[in-house]
Structure 1
Amino acid sequence: MCNCSAGGDDRRSCYPSSLSDAVWALIEPLMPVRDRSKGGAARTYGDRLVLDAILFVVRSGCQWRMIPHDLLPWDAAYRWYRAWIADGTWDRVHDALRDQVRQRAGRECNPSAAVIDAQSIKSSEGGQHRGYDAGKRTTGRKRHIVVDTLGLLLVVGVTAASVQDRPGGRTVLSVLAQRFCSIALVWADGGYANSIDNSLIGWARQKLGLVLQIVKRTDDVKGFQVLPRRWVVERTFGWLVRHRRLARDYERLATNSEAMIKIAMIRLMATRLAGQSIRWSNATEREAACRATIEAHLTA
């Protein structure tokens, strides 16, 4: 759903990534409020316009310098993107929307079970935390995520692809135990089990009070197989890579990679709460929707 208007902070374009009015109504109360008593110059660009520019990068996968000129200057969008990482805005907005999605689904805000998995992804040249995953034959980074039973993100950690699942799992499970004391059970695949002594399973139980249950694949079944519980986290990875910025890791810093994942989930959850769809079949339908919106503004 596109938003077409002109002038001031309401300047937006008909891009599929732009926030609709209903989605913005959900996000706006969660954005930080500037303290006017501290003085300073007035904001040139509103939060909604900044978010539209950032979401354009996430959805299209373009470089920051290629943000369309009818949004806002790329350096302003990147500056606010980094500022909201530093002050925890992305975390607060993400967590608040996740609680709303869980409540609407009839769940408690604090989950009692989770699913953990990792995904190796190719990265651009250079940058922080870059390695080679011999198992997947991938040079780049690895995303370690923990999701709830709805597939919503709870914890994310980005490491070099050379980091194995068990060491990476210790890091994200430690964060999980600190943030969500209500979780007692975590499902995982065979990559988190050590065939010799199951050290990660024992460590999680003794140090964190978590039961790490391994969901194994049946050996006598060939090809693709939907496994109980594990499909939830695989679906989340599918949601993420539909954003072209996340189909490959272009960030130089791991913190930026983690922020991009949270931003993608923010848009997904806000769109779901607004009861809207983010699917666009072709450019013709986009142009028709934009034309109809413009005509509605002109005749209003």
Structure 2
Amino acid sequence: MHLVATVIDACDRQPSRSPGHPPTATIRVVATLRRFLREGTPWRSLIASEEAASGSTLRRCLARWSTTGLLAKVHALLVGMLRGHPDLILDTCSVRAKRGGDLTGPNPTDRAKRGTKYHLAVDGDGVPVACSATAANVNDTLVFERLFLTAFAVMARIRSVFADKGYDAEHHRDLCRQFGIAPHIHKRGQSRGSGLGKRRWPVERSNAWLLENRRLALRYDRLGFVIQSLLRAACIFLFARRLAREF
């Protein structure tokens, strides 16, 4: 958490100080965000203490960070600190949105219940390098280019792209080849046993790690910027854990 707080402080341009109560220390906000994600603690149960911030403070910080794109900058900086495996693997997972809200739609895999889909791109070691949240009925092909270009901008090198048939589109393969990257995208109608499952397991494991966060596994928040921020924060915490092992 200290690494994440330090990078946030380095990237964050706080508004000019005004008379009044000093701003909450970033490490307290990050600790509260981590607890909120992992335990699914209700907003009103987040009470300010010496080590944690209140729920209203956390919400204000997430709103400001969303406006400035701060968490995306932090994520990109952390990815640049680790020279990971040169493969890029894409996949999705869907969760039910109990209360509806932004970025929700009928989930075709859950009897059209309203839900949200998390799109994730990881390197060959399963480290998240790009992510996005959409309505559950958004086709995977519509998000491929966004994930690919985001990953290409932050990864040191991409050798191959692996994806299932949900991303099957010839222009996606052409996009990969334009950057000198070998596309391995399963084609619809192709028989099973292509061997892609042996290369795609890191992203499935990372999806499972993301869903260990209770606030992501079952969506209660209605605001789109909150769910996007929580997804990005979960990826950042996974990345920070990996960096802590490396160094």
> Which TM class, normalised by the smaller chain length?
0.7 to 0.9
Aligned to 1:31: 8
Question: What is aligned with 1:234?
Answer: 204
1:212 maps to amino acid: P
1:125 maps to a residue whose letter is R
1:131 to 93, 102, 105: 105
Residues 140-219 of structure 1: matches in 2 within 5 Å?
Answer: 140-177=115-152, 182-193=157-168, 198-205=169-176, 210-214=181-185, 219=192
- From the superposition, tell whether residues 202 and 127 of structure 1 become closer, same or farther in structure 2 (CA, over 3 Å): same
In structure 1, what is the equivalent of residue 18 of structure 2? 40
Q: Is the Cα contact below 8 Å between 2:40 and 2:215 reproduced in 1?
A: yes
Matched, 1:251 2:226: no
TM-score scaled by structure 2? Answer: 0.80
- Residues 67-122 of structure 1 deviation map (CA, whole Å, 9 limit, x = unaligned): 1353333211211122222223322332333333x24xxx4xxx642001111211
Cα deviations across residues 9-40 of structure 1 (Å, max 9, x unaligned)? Answer: xxxxxxxxxxxxxx41x234313267799442
Q: Which moved more, 1:60-69 or 1:130-139?
A: 130-139
Structure 2 counterparts to residues 39-58 of structure 1, below 5 A? 39-41=17-19, 43-58=22-37
Deviations 1:101-144 (A, max 9, x none): x24xxx4xxx6420011112111323112212324535311111
Matched residue, 2:94? 120
SS in 2 for 1:251: coil
Question: Which of 39, 45, 51 is the equivalent residue of 1:66?
Answer: 45
Instruction: Report the counterpart of residue 10 of structure 1 in structure 2.
Output: none
Root-mean-square deviation over aligned CA pairs: 3.3
Distance 2:156 2:135 in 1: 28
**CA shift in 2, pair 1:166/1:39, >3 Å:** closer
Please name the residue that 1:20 is paired with. Answer: none
State the structure with bigger RCO (CA 8 A, min sep 6), 1 or 2: 2
Counterpart-to-counterpart distance in 2, 1:50 and 1:155: 23
Conservation of the 8 A alpha-carbon contact between 2:92 and 2:120 = yes
The percent identity for this pair of structures is 25
The more displaced of 206-215 and 41-50 is: 206-215
Per the TM alignment, residue 257 of structure 1 is displaced from its structure 2 partner at its CA by 1.9
Gaps of 5+ in 1: 1-22, 277-300
Count of aligned pairs: 239
Letter in 1 for 2:134: T
Contact 1:177 1:208 (8 Å CA) reproduced: no
Paired with 1:152 and 1:257, the residues of 2 have a C-alpha distance of 20
Task: Report the residue type matching 1:213 in the other structure.
Answer: H
The structure that has the greater radius of gyration is 1
Q: Secondary structure at the match of 1:229?
A: helix
Q: How far off is 1:259 after superposition?
A: 1.6
Question: Residues of 1 paired with 2:141 and 2:14: CA distance?
Answer: 48
1:188-208 CA deviation, whole Å, 9 max, x = no partner? 012222xxxx43444434666
Cα separation, partners in 2 of 1:92 and 1:161, compared to 1, 3 Å:
same
CA distance in 2, matches of 1:272, 1:260: 19
For 1:99-114, list aligned pairs within 5 A: 99-100=80-81, 102-103=82-83, 107=84, 112-114=86-88
Is this contact kept in 2: 1:122–1:139, CA < 8 A? yes
Q: Equivalents in 1 of 2:70, 2:203: separation in Å? A: 25
Contact kept in structure 2, 1:132 and 1:140, CA below 8 Å = yes
Bigger Cα displacement from structure 2, 67-76 vs 121-130: 67-76
